[in-house]
Amino acid sequence: MSRGRVPELDLLRFTAAAVVVMFHFYVLLPGNTTFEQAIAAVSRFGFLGVPLFFMISGFVILWTAFNRTPGRFVLARLCRLYPSYWVCVLITSGVLALAGGAPPWRQLVTNLTMFQHFFGFDSIDQVYWTLYVELKFYALVFILLLFRQLSQVERWLAVWLALSTVSLAIGLEHHAVTRGLDTITFEGFAAYFALGCYAYLIRTQGATPRRWGGFAVSALLSVCAALKMPPHYGLPNDWPTLLTVIAIMLMMCVAIYTVATRRWALSDRALWYWLGSLTYPLYLLHAMAGKALYGMMPADWGVWPRMALSLAAVFAVVIPLAIGIEQHGCQALYRWLSGERRERPASRPTTSTV
């Protein structure tokens, strides 16, 4: 597969970002009307957009790793992840300052590294925790590249899934062994990445019983991992909630399956490319900055107008970031740092890769 685009992934990435935005904003709704209650009932499961992000990342990161040296892989990932992140951290900090809650300068500086927790500081925006998980996945792929084990990735995926099974099975005991397993398996999130990796292998190298087995096990473990998430997001552990989580996760696995088997194919339209470009800055900016803008507006304007204006302001910033950084800046920075000469691409590059 060439380093072109998979439009279906662009759409899935934007969908994941959209449901996360809905999740963070539905708490502002008073719930006085049937419509608001219906929106809240759907939006409260928006946290499941994060597993979808990780599934897509498993597909894309394995894609970018093949035929790259360890150094080029690291450079590509840094050029992809950091430019928009730095800008969004600064913008969010500026908006919080206008709202009267500017983060201390030490917190700001450490957040710019994306390793703020190592320095004992909280994230400026709660969504940043997912980026740390992404970096850990990058580190594992880098190790495979460094020791020339990427060609044996299926063996290591099987080991990863086995460890994830053990971690999920005994995770409630919180003893030292479990903590070590959680470090390696990202507290169960490894299954999401593994599912994306198997989808990539099936799409590009063909379907085999071993790959389908790995995909199925990854899907099962993904559902199990997701069932642990509701209490962390204020949802009850009752059967209606758990059944809804199961249904949503299965739909996501089916969506990735259709990408892997090419049973779902979108036309190569600019719309999907644009939606993919908007995803990352939208994800980074909507939560703290969006809510801070909402809080600065007079309460008598009403919930829906304030919400619409705050999201409109977020998109007014996101669109230039998508054009300047996501569509052009990341690629230009990578070419400059790597010394590659600019070549005319056969098609627009995916917004998920560099």
pLDDT category of residue 67 using cuts at 50, 70 and 90? confident
> Does residue 206 lie in a domain region?
yes
- pLDDT > 70: what percent of the chain? 92
- Cβ partners under 8 Å of residue 253, min gap 6: 55, 195, 219, 222, 223
Residue 4: predicted pLDDT: 67
Tens of pLDDT, residues 219-256:
999 999 999 999 999 999 999 999 999 999 999 999 99
Residue 2: predicted pLDDT: 41
350 has pLDDT over 50: no
Tens of pLDDT, residues 13-47:
999 999 999 999 998 888 889 999 999 999 999 99
Q: How far apart are CA 198 and CA 149, in angstroms?
A: 16
> Does residue 107 lie in a domain region?
yes
Q: What is the mean pLDDT of the segment spanning 199-207? A: 98
> Does residue 101 lie in a domain region?
yes
> Does residue 303 lie in a domain region?
yes
pLDDT category of residue 3 using cuts at 50, 70 and 90? very low
pLDDT category of residue 344 using cuts at 50, 70 and 90? very low
Compare 170 and 53 and report the one with higher pLDDT: 53
Residue 62: predicted pLDDT: 96
Q: How far apart are CA 13 and CA 16, in angstroms?
A: 5
The number of folded domains in the chain is 1
Residue 1: predicted pLDDT: 43
Tens of pLDDT, residues 283-330:
999 999 999 999 999 999 999 999 999 999 999 999 999 999 999 999
Residue 305: predicted pLDDT: 95
Residue 342: predicted pLDDT: 55
Residue 268: predicted pLDDT: 87
Structural domain including 240 reads 7-338
pLDDT category of residue 187 using cuts at 50, 70 and 90? confident
Residue 177: predicted pLDDT: 60
For residue 69, how many C-alpha atoms fall within 13 Å in the half-sphere facing its CB?
A: 4
Q: How far apart are CA 47 and CA 127, in angstroms?
A: 10
Give the chain's mean pLDDT. Answer: 92
Q: In a 10 Å sphere around its CB, with 0-12 CB exposed, 13-18 middle and 19+ buried, how is residue 265 labelled? A: exposed
> Does residue 65 lie in a domain region?
yes
> Does residue 347 lie in a domain region?
no
Q: What is the mean pLDDT of the segment spanning 168-174? A: 67
111 has pLDDT over 50: yes
Given a contact cutoff of 8 angstroms between Cβ atoms, the answer to whether 54 and 195 are in contact is no
Q: What is the b/e burial string over 293-322, where b = at least 16 CB atoms within 10 angstroms of the residue's CB? A: bbeeeeeeeeeeebbeebbebbbebbeebb
Residue 183: predicted pLDDT: 82
Compare 256 and 4 and report the one with higher pLDDT: 256
